[in-house]
């Protein structure tokens, strides 16, 4: 079966970092570095308060949010709706990051509702899945991730599933400095593609972008990004410095 040629996606997840003025300074440095970059979509997933500042210069990169509520509007103090994000020019939304699953009690059900709401409003979800060190040690990582994918994609058509971006983020490698070996990362990303194939078939599986999200940096990015089932990265700490971030982008664009 021929393999679909997928472009790369490098998405920075700033988490709770940078003010609007710091965002403008970052983009002022990054923007000229992106000149001539081809074959790689760059996304900056910034805190809510930074979205207007990031959107001012969007063009060579897309703006992403780190979360949203699945309801259209209502009595949800402190929450942000999909319509609010699209009105600001947001194109991507991170859904189900392990930190939100852990700290905000997000469930597979709420993750699924958010993914549907993201698509209904013309944006692209970046679904995060991944296992803990304990689950990996117990040998249940594959089963656990398979369940996360099946629940998250519930109700999606083949067309929407093919537009989904899935980020494999081994929880044990987030913010710890640990990184899965290129082989381990490739094996898990291939597993994720196989799960999508089981649910939707070859065409959808081959069009789905799968990112690696476990402490990718300028040093390990070249090896990770040559893996056939790794279509880019969801970058944490290394996305906060323009010079560090552009190294990963250039590795993806090669």
Catalytic residue annotation: 97, 169
φ, ψ for residue 47, nearest 5 deg: -60, 155
Integer Cα distance of 131 and 128 in angstroms: 10
Integer Cα distance of 234 and 212 in angstroms: 6
Q: Residue 85: name the closest of 108, 54, 112 by CA.
A: 54
Integer Cα distance of 189 and 197 in angstroms: 12
CB 44 within 8 A of CB 50: no
Integer Cα distance of 225 and 212 in angstroms: 9
Integer Cα distance of 52 and 196 in angstroms: 35
């Amino acid at each position: 079966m021929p393999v679909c040629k997928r472009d790369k996606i490098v998405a920075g997840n700033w988490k709770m970092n940078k003010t609007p003025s710091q965002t403008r300074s970052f983009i002022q440095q990054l923007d000229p570095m992106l000149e001539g970059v081809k074959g790689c979509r760059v996304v900056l997933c910034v805190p809510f308060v930074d979205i207007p500042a990031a959107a001012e210069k969007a063009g060579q990169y897309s703006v992403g949010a780190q979360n949203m509520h699945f309801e259209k509007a209502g009595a949800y103090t402190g929450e942000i709706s999909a319509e609010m994000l699209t009105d600001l020019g947001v194109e991507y939304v991170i859904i189900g990051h392990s930190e939100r699953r852990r700290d905000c009690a997000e469930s597979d059900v709420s993750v699924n509702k958010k993914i549907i709401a993201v698509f209904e409003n013309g944006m692209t979800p970046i679904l995060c899945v991944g296992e803990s060190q304990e689950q990996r040690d117990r040998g249940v990582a594959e089963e656990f991730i398979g369940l996360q994918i099946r629940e998250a994609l519930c109700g999606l058509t083949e067309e929407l599933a093919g537009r989904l971006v899935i980020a494999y983020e081994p929880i044990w490698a987030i913010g710890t400095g640990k990184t899965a070996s290129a082989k381990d990362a490739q094996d898990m990303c291939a597993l994720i593609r196989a799960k999508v194939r089981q649910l939707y078939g070859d065409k959808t599986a081959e069009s789905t972008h799968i990112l690696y999200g476990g402490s990718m940096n300028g040093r390990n990015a070249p090896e990770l990004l040559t893996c056939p089932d790794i279509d880019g990265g969801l970058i944490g700490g290394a996305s906060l410095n323009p010079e560090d971030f552009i190294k990963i982008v250039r590795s993806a664009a090669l």
